[in-house]
Amino acid sequence: MIIYLANVSDPPDKITKTVNYIEEEGIDAKLIHPCDVLAPNFTIDYTQNRSLCNYCYIPSLGRYYYVTCSLDTAKRLHVSCTVDPLMSWANSIKQCNATIIRKENGSPTIIPDSKLPIQPGKKSIAAIHGSSGFFNTNLTQSYLLTVIGGEGTNGS
């Protein structure tokens, strides 16, 4: 099987990475069976450049992989791969139209969410005690209701 070893320094969550191939021609690699398409393992002849790679492309599988290399006792490299789905399917991903409605972490931290319509920077805090008429009015705004304390909160 022919593989192309490379180095990347882009973060894993970037779709299109800058791939710096360490050799112009493909390298003949021997697959270690059983073969898993998402995480193949193989052996190749050792060279210093090859031992420093962290990425590869396998044309016959049509996927890009993150790589870890370890030196074998017979001056061969054992290469373990883990698929990079973002780079492998980058063209398909870029052609998709999508609306992101939830974002758990990262920056920016405030993304408008259709399930919780809020306006960043606008807050109203009010205490309403026992008002049964509050929810019976014609409301023109959305409210986030938080209940603090009250009977039964401490097990009574």
pLDDT tens digits for the chain (156 residues)?
999 999 999 999 899 999 999 988 999 999 988 888 999 999 998 888 888 899 999 999 999 999 998 887 788 889 999 999 999 999 988 888 776 655 555 555 555 555 554 555 655 566 555 555 555 555 555 555 555 555 554 544
Q: Does domain 2-92 have CATH number 1.10.1300?
A: no
CA distance 14 to 41: 24
**pLDDT tens string 35-55:** 889 999 999 988 888 888 999
pTM of the model as a whole: 0.63
Q: What is the pLDDT of residue 93?
A: 86
Domain boundaries of the chain, sorted by first residue: 2-92
Q: What is the pLDDT of residue 156?
A: 43
> SS3 breakdown of the chain: % helix, strand, coil, rounded to 5?
10, 25, 65
Q: What is the pLDDT of residue 122?
A: 58
